[in-house]
């Protein structure tokens, strides 16, 4: 938000300078028109470009699930906010009629021990073994897999984290792939990439809590 105010101030200052010196330098007015046209086109095309990338990502996910692995899930389960949003989009694209989003809580008491993740607190999951086989767990970005592990334990009523259905990660790091080799990965993260930061519902740097 602070950057937006700076942009507005800069625009006003530049407009004042152009008006003051524009009479002597007519080309400044032409430059101003060109700049405003470029800004308008960029602001118009940027959301459309994101929609294109989003549809392409979901198309790749559907291709991996249905055509490559031949899996047609009856429900999709997610364990965090970004995963739940994309799970809903995938359900609509693949005509899947059931979606489950479990609440997730993470606490970190210090900087030494790993954070504690709890998924599905105060929730009762009533899915039989056969229903779990027809279930797809969707993860937006697989890194350490701590949320995924806690979520799978919630689905199995705390018994273990084994899962008879399929697990899909839209993005995954090298570490996440090594820890969870059975997860279907749509796209592999490049070093230093944080795909959450590009999402339009994330304001500012993404903080994974």
The CATH architecture of the domain made up of 71-198 is 3-Layer(aba) Sandwich (3.40)
Residue 180's nearest CA partner among 208, 199, 209, 152 is: 152
pLDDT tens for the 209 residues of the chain, in order: 445 666 666 666 666 666 666 566 666 667 767 777 777 776 666 666 778 888 999 999 999 999 999 999 999 999 988 899 999 999 999 999 999 999 888 876 566 656 788 888 878 888 888 999 999 999 999 998 999 999 998 888 766 667 899 999 999 999 999 999 999 999 999 888 888 777 766 665 555 54
Tell me how crowded residue 168 is: count the other CB atoms within 10 A of its CB. 27
Beta-bridge partners for 184 = 168
Q: Indicate the SS3 state at residue 174.
A: helix
């Amino acid at each position: 938000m602070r950057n937006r105010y700076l942009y507005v101030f800069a625009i006003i200052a530049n407009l004042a300078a152009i008006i003051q010196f524009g009479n002597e330098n007519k080309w400044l007015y032409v430059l101003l028109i060109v700049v405003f046209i470029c800004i308008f086109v960029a602001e118009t095309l940027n959301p459309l470009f994101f929609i294109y990338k989003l549809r392409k990502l979901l198309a790749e996910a559907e291709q991996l699930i249905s055509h490559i692995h031949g899996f047609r899930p009856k429900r999709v389960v997610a364990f965090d906010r970004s995963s739940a949003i994309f799970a809903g989009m995938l359900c609509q694209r693949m005509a899947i009629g059931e979606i489950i989003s479990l609440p997730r809580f993470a606490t970190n008491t210090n900087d030494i021990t790993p954070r504690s993740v709890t998924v599905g607190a105060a929730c009762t999951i009533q899915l039989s073994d056969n229903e779990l086989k027809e279930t797809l767990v969707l993860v937006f970005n697989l890194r350490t897999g701590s949320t995924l592990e806690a979520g799978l334990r919630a689905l199995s009523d705390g018994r273990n984290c084994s899962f008879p259905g399929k697990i899909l990660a839209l993005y995954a790091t090298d570490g996440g792939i090594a820890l969870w080799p059975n997860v279907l990965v749509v796209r592999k993260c490049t070093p230093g990439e944080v795909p959450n930061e590009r999402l339009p519902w994330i304001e500012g740097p993404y903080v994974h809590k």
